[in-house]
Amino acid sequence: MHVLLVVDDEPEIRLIMEKFFAKHGFSVLSAEHGGYALEIIQSHVQIDCILLDMKMPKVDGFAVLTQLRQIGCAIPIILIGGSVGAENDIVKLQELGFQEEELLYKPISLDKLLEIVKSRLNII
C-alpha cells in the first residue's frame, strides 16, 4: 500500500484528502504544518509521496522544501498553492529547482490530483 503525507494547515482539506485517498487504496498521514511534516519525514516512516501546501503558518512549504533538499530527500512532492500567479512564489520555487508547472492551485480536482499522484508513483 502506498503512503501519502498530506501537509496543509486547513483541517477540512486534510480530512477531505485523507478520506478520498483512503477510498482509493492509499494509506494517508497528515500534518497541519511544515514542522510536523519534517518530524514525520525524519522519523523514517515510509512515505511514497508528499502533497505539500505552500502557504502555512509556522513552517511553510518553502521551508519544508529547503530542508528536504538539504537532507537529500528523494520522495516525490506535489506542490499545492492557494493563489494563482504569485510571482514571488514562482521565483522561490525555481530557486529550489521546481518549475511553475509543478505547482497546482486550489481549488484542485481530487480526480486530477489522484491522476498526478498515480503518475508520480508509476501506478497504472
Reported as a single tens digit per residue, the pLDDT across 35-60 is 999 999 999 899 999 999 988 888 88
- What pLDDT does 55 receive? 86
**What's 18-30 look like in SS3?**
HHHHHHCCCEEEE
CATH number of 3-120: 3.40.50.2300
What DSSP line would sit under the chain, residue for residue? Answer: --EEEEE-S-HHHHHHHHHHHHHTT-EEEEESSHHHHHHHHHTT---SEEEEES--SSS-HHHHHHHHHHTT----EEEEESSTT-HHHHHHHHHTT--GGGEEESS--HHHHHHHHHHHTT--
Give the three cell numbers for residue 15.
Answer: 480530512
One-letter amino acid at 105 equals Y
| Whole-number pLDDT of residue 100 | 64
In this structure, what C-alpha cell is assigned to residue 26? 492509499
Per-residue model confidence (pLDDT) at position 22: 97
The pTM of the full predicted model, rounded to 2 decimals, is: 0.90
Lowest-confidence region among 21-30, 67-76, 112-121 = 67-76
Residue 28 has pLDDT above 80, yes or no: yes
Q: Is the pLDDT of residue 101 over 70?
A: no
User: Residue 120 — very low, low, confident or very high, per pLDDT cuts 50/70/90?
Assistant: very high
